[in-house]
Structure 1
Amino acid sequence: MEAAPFQPVRYGSPVLGGGIRARTTTTAHDLVEPMEYLFVKIVKACNLPTMDPTGSLDPYIEVKLGNFTATTTQLEKNKNPVWNEVFAFTKSDQQANFIDVIVMDKGVMKDNFVGSIRFDLNEIPTRVATDSPIAPECIRKSRANLYRLRSVFSGLLGTGEWFQDICTWKKPVASTAVHVLYLAFVCLPEMILPIISLWLFMLGVWNYRLRPRQPQHMDTSLSFADNVHPEELTEEFDTFPFSSQDPGVVKMRYERLRSIAGRAQTLVGDIAGQGERVQALLSWRDPRATSIFMVVCLVSSVVLYVVPFKVFVLLCGLYIMRHPRLRRKTPPGLVNFFKRLPAKTDCML
């Protein structure tokens, strides 16, 4: 038997009107009164003695907590029964400090007592339960959430690829049209917001034909449940926080988690390195780079003061979208300068 302690359901304060906001993060249980539960899982029994003269045994288990009793399914002629049944008791049902697990043998006239065991609830450590019976730490949900995040930013990625095609003039007609539209926006900046609003309206009208015709349902492809690995499924339904699997399996999961965390750590390190290069522009860690940057800032301040802002924006846009014949095959000077700035990566162990 496995017993989990009384666990509070995670909840948060709802967002109120009138500018009043919740102090905590809201969840699906915002409007649910917090309750505490004691979960008792009956796993199995081994080598039960027979109490019937015929030698047969039809065992079942009674779980008693004060005046409340829960009963498992009766299994016929089985000395090593396996139930895997879970019972939940609310804190209001706690009328005693002990919980009794009694093994009974179903008889024709009277049920026979086989054995019992008592657990002290005060000795069970408390823990916080998850909102879902399925552990949120599973690999399947992590992969599904990653692809959800990728689908959210797929529009921005597609826009970046489209703008890259415009700058490389893969479609001369489209590149020319973008140049003309850019000149119009620079000359008439008051038309930018109205045109963007009109474009969003037309996009909504275009997507109307793709509107969902059926109510929302569980999507196995979105959840990655259609091609999940059996080991990942076993991990998902494993007990938490204490695993019931073999130590070798737990070690394998730990190594897999280390590999995933290593890739995330590399990404975080790269982002931190870029930020440190930005800080190195004025930190005098590289005196030559800081001196060059200060001179460029001084010259640009004078140029931006003399040159009208529209002319500056127009020249910058045309320079970025210039024809490939006007480009060099070497990386831009600004990018080369930025990549050569020092970071704190060399100072780490």
Structure 2
Amino acid sequence: MAQNFALKEIKPNIGKGRVTGTGPDRLTSSRDLVEETYYLFVRVVKVKELPWNAALGICDPFVEIKVGNYKGRTSFLENKPDWNEVFAFRKERIQTSTMDIVVRERALPNDEIIGKICFNMSDIPTRVPPDSPLAPQWYKLDDKNGIYLGMGELMLAIWFGTQADEVFPNAWNSDLTLVNGDSIVNTRSKVYIQPKLWYLRVSIVEGQDLVSKSKTPEVYVKANLGFVSLKTRVSSNKSLNPKWGEDLMFVAAEPFDESLILTVVEKLEDKTEVNLGKCEIPVSKVSKRNLPEAVGAKWYDLKQVVTEESSGQAKDAKFATKLSMKVSLDGGYHVFDEPVHVSSDFRPSYKVLWPGTIGLLELGILGATGLIPMKSRNGRETTDAYCVAKYGPKWIRTRTAVDTFAPKWNEQYVWDIYEPYSVLTIGIFDNCHLHGEGMLVGPKDPKIGKLRIRLSTLRINKVYTYSYPIIAMQPTGIKKMGELQLSIRFTCPSYQALCKSYFRPLIPKMHIIFPLSVYQLDSLRQQTVEILSMRLTRTEPPLRKEVVECMLDADAQMWSMRRAKANFERLKAVFGVFVNAWKVFNDLRKWRNWILSLSVLVAGVIVVFCPTEILLYGLPFLPLSCAFVLFGRFRKLPKDPPFMNVKLSLAESVNADDLDEEFDSFPSSKQGDVLRMRYDRLRSFAAKIMHMIGDLACHGERINSLWSGEDPRAPKIFLFACLVAALCLHWISYFNHPWNWKIIAACVWLYVMRCDWMWRKDVPSVPSIFFRKLPTKVDRLL
């Protein structure tokens, strides 16, 4: 059965929230893009005056909340002053009119009851933010028969609320009954702010007074920052005062608690290496460069590593060797953590250089439908899904919907927007850390799917409610993993500021004045992904490395035959517009449609012989006519936002060999004939790209040959043709008749649009023949 990858518009029951703030500075809304879900909240604070167990000599109580078939339990008190834990039970699933709260003793047999409290659901109040939180109250404990014995009180707060309640993200949820108690932290929704990143530039200029046994040493400088190690080339002058003049780039994250370690290394003749000295520079003491201004070089003293023969330990010893360097934190750059074309942020590191906000992006993650099973639990297939969204430095993670193929999240988030040409990335993953696995170890959370939404394609103040297909490429081919239901709104208080942003440079000024090479950007992005993976993994709940790498497209640079073919088809489609336009005009010239060709011919003659005054009078109306044409085209544009295009990605037509290569590891795990076949196929595809680039180069070289003189006759012929044309035009202008130029233009138009029986030949025109015979450099290639 064919899979349906279409975008579907949905009509969720949203818009019941209250607007909490309006104005040009800040527009916020409270849960008006998601469906309200009501919960019964129970906050257990503390207990007092419990009966003392003299036989055991201990008192270790816990509280159990029973609501119908649902049961929640606090942790053991264990000499703590209070619990202060919150429990949430979804109201629509409560099938009882009463709720029992029981205090039990851990040390007694079968956790015997100390006391209990019974509540009627009709007596519980409702609280909706921004109302203040309910104050907890003391409730007296009855025995199991409902009789108060005068001992024990429990402090509680009970109310009905929605997912907008501030205690909801950290509350125990009734949907998490299958989750191990210690793993509940892995199910909570959180907002993460990634650390501010800077580019650390280290310019190695020269060294002085190296201590080496050789008078012509081959030395280089090795720089280490955290887990990254870079090194320069061997010095250009082999002397005790070497020179390099080379830049090394690192990514540094705030707070700057690391040190930059530089080591001068000498390469000996036996291919061994000796450390001639090192210096350590704390990144926190490095000066920040916010504008494209020069940084002065400084001399840094090196320390020589000396090993004590008695202890075998290395110690530092100062000596006269120095190293001249320019070290700076370049805050004028933007540290790219995503691919440039799908980036969500382009602001520089230095906050003073940030542009003003142009609006807000509000995202409501409603739920998902039709998710496929991702794992098996107790012999039954299941999925524990959660969503991660990333825009700029702000990441969000929804709570985990346990054991369901149609999860409901109904969580709303907001981001400040600085640039409309930016992309929101949303991924959905399966949580594999719900049953006692380690926080940082254990199985990985597999990706279910991912989608992107470009903000410039959204209309202002319109709420988009769509069900997006979750599409994933797998080793077996393309597969629909389900549908993700979202509500999106792009709010802009100033349309003028939004229009101005279209004329503002996309990247900071430093990227333009001091551009980084492609290799530098690739290396720096790898460092950035690794830094963010380590930092976000140390949060609670951790945003795991595989999730961060997936959201940041860490494998975007990996080779894929499918992507290469898709980009090649995109390139052909771009040039295809001009090719199609030429084909249409060529059909008119060859009179394939007599009526249309005759109409174009007559229209051209009328325009040529039209009085000049009328043409000049109608010239100002030409832009207005184009505007009306564009407006008519604009009305026919699709109203739905763009999404992942299966046809554009060539996902349905990809073959098994291409898929096997795309999901192969790097370095490849294949051997023998498979690698040979892939290499030959890559050479065949690359040959097409090579010939296309060669044809474009040939056309450019033919134009350059007109004045380069490589062909001694072609420039003379071209100059002679130009001279004849100039003389003819001068002779025509000599008579100074108003109809001269119009007659010439009409003759040229009639010649271009001539019929087959009017001097039409099946050979190219004389100028095209002459252009094709101009020399190129293709014959000089080896």
Match of 1:324 among 756, 763, 766: 756
Match of 1:259 among 667, 680, 684: 684
Matched ranges for 1:23-62 at <5 A: 27-30=342-345, 32-33=392-393
Q: Is the strand fraction higher in 1 or 2?
A: 2
Match of 2:534 among 91, 100, 104: 91
How far apart, in 2, do the equivalents of 1:291 and 1:207 lie? 50
Query: Does structure 2 retain, via aligned residues, the 8 Å contact 1:135–1:236?
Result: no
Matched residue, 2:711: 286
Letter of the aligned partner of 1:302 in structure 2? L
Matched residue, 1:76: none
Letter of the aligned partner of 2:604 in structure 1? Y
Matched residue, 2:775: 342
Percent sequence identity over aligned pairs: 30
How far apart, in 1, do the equivalents of 2:704 and 2:640 lie? 52
Matched ranges for 1:1-349 at <5 A: 27-30=342-345, 32-33=392-393, 69-72=440-443, 90-92=533-535, 131=553, 133=555, 137-186=559-608, 187=610, 189-190=615-616, 191=618, 194-195=621-622, 197-198=624-625, 201-202=628-629, 204-205=631-632, 208=635, 211-212=637-638, 214-240=640-666, 242-246=667-671, 248-307=673-732, 310-326=742-758, 327-349=760-782
- Change beyond 3 A, Cα 1:89–1:346: closer
Query: Does structure 2 retain, via aligned residues, the 8 Å contact 1:304–1:312?
Result: no
DSSP 3-state at the match of 2:441: strand
Query: Does structure 2 retain, via aligned residues, the 8 Å contact 1:144–1:223?
Result: yes
Q: Which moved more, 1:305-314 or 1:333-342?
A: 305-314
Query: Does structure 1 retain, via aligned residues, the 8 Å contact 2:705–2:711?
Result: yes
Letter of the aligned partner of 1:28 in structure 2? S
Letter of the aligned partner of 2:442 in structure 1? T
Q: CA deviation at 1:206?
A: 5.9
- Change beyond 3 A, Cα 1:144–1:197: farther
How far apart, in 2, do the equivalents of 1:192 and 1:235 lie? 57
Relative contact order (alpha carbons < 8 A, sep ≥ 6): 1 or 2 greater?
Answer: 1
How far apart, in 2, do the equivalents of 1:90 and 1:330 lie? 63
Q: CA deviation at 1:136?
A: 5.1
Query: Does structure 1 retain, via aligned residues, the 8 Å contact 2:698–2:777?
Result: yes
Letter of the aligned partner of 1:316 in structure 2? V
DSSP 3-state at the match of 1:69: coil
How far apart, in 2, do the equivalents of 1:344 and 1:34 lie? 52
Letter of the aligned partner of 1:252 in structure 2? M
Q: CA deviation at 1:265?
A: 1.6
How far apart, in 1, do the equivalents of 2:702 and 2:531 lie? 56
Matched residue, 1:120: none
- Change beyond 3 A, Cα 1:159–1:203: farther
Q: Whose Rg is larger?
A: 2
Structure 1 unaligned residues grouped into runs of 5+: 10-20, 36-61, 74-86, 96-128
Q: CA deviation at 1:322?
A: 1.5
Q: Which moved more, 1:162-171 or 1:247-256?
A: 247-256
Matched residue, 1:44: none
Q: CA deviation at 1:166?
A: 0.9
Query: Does structure 2 retain, via aligned residues, the 8 Å contact 1:277–1:338?
Result: yes
Q: TM-score, normalised by structure 2?
A: 0.29
Query: Does structure 2 retain, via aligned residues, the 8 Å contact 1:273–1:345?
Result: yes
The alignment of Structure 1 onto Structure 2 pairs a total of residues equal to 257
- Change beyond 3 A, Cα 1:94–1:201: closer
- Change beyond 3 A, Cα 1:200–1:249: farther
- Change beyond 3 A, Cα 1:197–1:253: farther
Letter of the aligned partner of 1:231 in structure 2? D
How far apart, in 2, do the equivalents of 1:237 and 1:341 lie? 47
- Change beyond 3 A, Cα 1:153–1:194: farther
Matched residue, 1:39: none
How far apart, in 2, do the equivalents of 1:287 and 1:321 lie? 35
- Change beyond 3 A, Cα 1:252–1:135: farther
- Change beyond 3 A, Cα 1:132–1:176: farther
Deviations 1:72-125 (A, max 9, x none): 38xxxxxxxxxxxxx998334899xxxxxxxxxxxxxxxxxxxxxxxxxxxxxx
- Change beyond 3 A, Cα 1:22–1:320: farther
- Change beyond 3 A, Cα 1:213–1:203: same
How far apart, in 2, do the equivalents of 1:340 and 1:182 lie? 32
Q: Is the helix fraction higher in 1 or 2?
A: 1
Query: Does structure 2 retain, via aligned residues, the 8 Å contact 1:134–1:236?
Result: no
Letter of the aligned partner of 2:709 in structure 1? W
How far apart, in 2, do the equivalents of 1:206 and 1:69 lie? 54
- Change beyond 3 A, Cα 1:222–1:347: closer
- Change beyond 3 A, Cα 1:131–1:185: farther
Deviations 1:150-174 (A, max 9, x none): 3444443332211111101111211
Q: CA deviation at 1:207?
A: 7.0
Deviations 1:206-264 (A, max 9, x none): 6745x435443333222211221122112222234x22333543332222221122122
Query: Does structure 2 retain, via aligned residues, the 8 Å contact 1:169–1:323?
Result: yes
DSSP 3-state at the match of 1:90: helix
RMSD, aligned CA: 4.1
How far apart, in 1, do the equivalents of 2:560 and 2:681 lie? 12
Q: CA deviation at 1:192?
A: 6.0
How far apart, in 1, do the equivalents of 2:333 and 2:536 lie? 31
Q: CA deviation at 1:138?
A: 0.7
Query: Does structure 1 retain, via aligned residues, the 8 Å contact 2:605–2:749?
Result: no
How far apart, in 2, do the equivalents of 1:94 and 1:171 lie? 67
Letter of the aligned partner of 1:223 in structure 2? S
Query: Does structure 2 retain, via aligned residues, the 8 Å contact 1:276–1:343?
Result: yes
How far apart, in 2, do the equivalents of 1:202 and 1:195 lie? 11
Letter of the aligned partner of 1:146 in structure 2? F
- Change beyond 3 A, Cα 1:183–1:223: same
Q: CA deviation at 1:287?
A: 2.8
Deviations 1:254-285 (A, max 9, x none): 22221122122222222322333333333333
How far apart, in 1, do the equivalents of 2:579 and 2:699 lie? 20
How far apart, in 2, do the equivalents of 1:170 and 1:299 lie? 35
